Structure 1
């Protein structure tokens, strides 16, 4: 049996596993637990399954404490970064160490987090528009161009996003529109597809179709940062301004500065449980996104 906990950040939910736990097949474990029809369930949780499994190796001797974070997604692939997942990881570490600061090592780099009760702010790094850094298969940045019928801007905020500003996010059939963009040839590693529409208060509503989840999630932290980064690139907001980005799961606050960005929002603990290990390997997954 494996001890697990479940957290969510504005509805983006994750099973958290201490990396010291014996999980011989992380891919199979994540695929089974994340399944929305047959995955992990508990009376304290709003819904079955999860958007990913966070394997966290805590190194408390550092000041501030450090975590090595590995996110295995519902399809068995490993994500380079996840804003809400990193915020959940910071909260998990803070509860074990009593610290109000945490350093998180991810495949996309080391990120600093501040924990203030249930509110967690994570450093997200500088958004990247350079074609090689997104990546996109071209020589110039992809800005406000049509890809598979959707006008998008490509940016990497830890993972690649194709961001489209629309009049009203709820008027778009995301499940139909997003997959062709997500798999478009111009994105050699695939891309998350994020829609945004302005709010009267000066923020943005957001919906994201996530690569690796292969569907819409209630919240996406890298997507919220991508919305703000593209809004700044297009002159919709000023550098250094903090804007509210609202996915279906709740409000996130994003600040994009020259050379860095920050994501802030609540983290909620749902439950702790024991689950069996999983030995059977799932079907192979193309982690490149092709």
Structure 2
């Protein structure tokens, strides 16, 4: 048996989208198999989306399974891809996205999709990180990081040049550090000379570097503002896959903007949990 999918990416952060009505007995196993870039379709995650178009604006319920087969409560670029998918099906320019980290509003703005992010926090209990106060520029496993949760936890390190960092070497010890009960994504950022930052991110669940990370871009922007490294609004963040823009609305919540592309459609095999 097979189920149809659509392949989308936001600045290189790519996802298979499968309608939640499709019968997939083991979603985690499908994600592990099909996210593999050698033996599967290849992706940073699989989005299972349920569209509820009776609402105004329409709502889409998003569940993300990562390449390790586990779910993640939030994904910025994934949410933007989900929004584009839903807007294309409803003929609207605005949707609400229900994630495990909260409900987001998304809108189309020209060639970009913009989402208002969930509440963010530096509170160590909510990141979570084993600390008595917010972690700002503290050394953990050899890397000086600031900790913020932008839907998922991020350890942000500001460096002179992201290209000089061996991310596959320095990130895993931080990602698995005892200080983080749920693990963490690891971002390195360097100033671009115009108030923005270049970005590289090692993502938990992917267990490697991705071409882009939306929650990571937001983490970089809010950590930079907290540390006084920029007062720009918007803050431009440049991951390897493109350009993201983080603004701060009248409620003080960050918004994440960038392009989304529909790559292609296809079908993937579905196996029952007892099949090899």
Superposition TM-score, scaled by structure 1 size: 0.92
Query: 1:112-191 alignment to 2 at 5 Å?
Result: 112-191=105-184
- Indicate conservation of the 8 Å contact 1:163/1:227, yes or no: yes
Q: Which residue of 2 aligns with 1:93?
A: 86
SS of equivalent to 1:225: helix
Q: Which residue of 2 aligns with 1:27?
A: 28
Query: 1:224-263 alignment to 2 at 5 Å?
Result: 224-238=217-231, 241-256=233-248, 259-263=252-256
- Indicate conservation of the 8 Å contact 1:91/1:118, yes or no: no
SS of equivalent to 2:151: coil
Between 155-164 and 199-208, the greater mean CA deviation after superposition: 199-208
2:1 corresponds to 1:9: no
SS of equivalent to 2:106: strand
- Indicate conservation of the 8 Å contact 2:101/2:118, yes or no: no
Question: CA–CA distance in 1 between the matches of 2:156 and 2:109?
Answer: 30
CA root-mean-square deviation: 1.5
- Indicate conservation of the 8 Å contact 2:246/2:257, yes or no: yes
Q: Which residue of 1 aligns with 2:59?
A: 66
- Give the superposition deviation at 1:281: 7.3
- Give the superposition deviation at 1:256: 3.6
Residues 18 and 117 of structure 1: is their aligned pair in 2 closer, same or farther, counting only changes over 3 Å? farther
Q: Which residue of 2 aligns with 1:285?
A: none
- Give the superposition deviation at 1:126: 3.0
Question: CA–CA distance in 2 between the matches of 1:169 and 1:62?
Answer: 44
- Indicate conservation of the 8 Å contact 1:53/1:72, yes or no: yes
Where structure 2 has 5 or more consecutive residues not aligned to the other structure, the ranges are none
Question: CA–CA distance in 2 between the matches of 1:74 and 1:221?
Answer: 17
Question: CA–CA distance in 2 between the matches of 1:253 and 1:34?
Answer: 27
SS of equivalent to 1:85: helix
After superposition, the C-alpha distances for 1:212-249 in whole angstroms (9 at most, x for unaligned) are 000000000000000001001101223x7101100000
- Indicate conservation of the 8 Å contact 2:196/2:230, yes or no: no
Question: CA–CA distance in 2 between the matches of 1:38 and 1:279?
Answer: 19
- Between the two proteins, the alignment pairs up a number of residues equal to 274
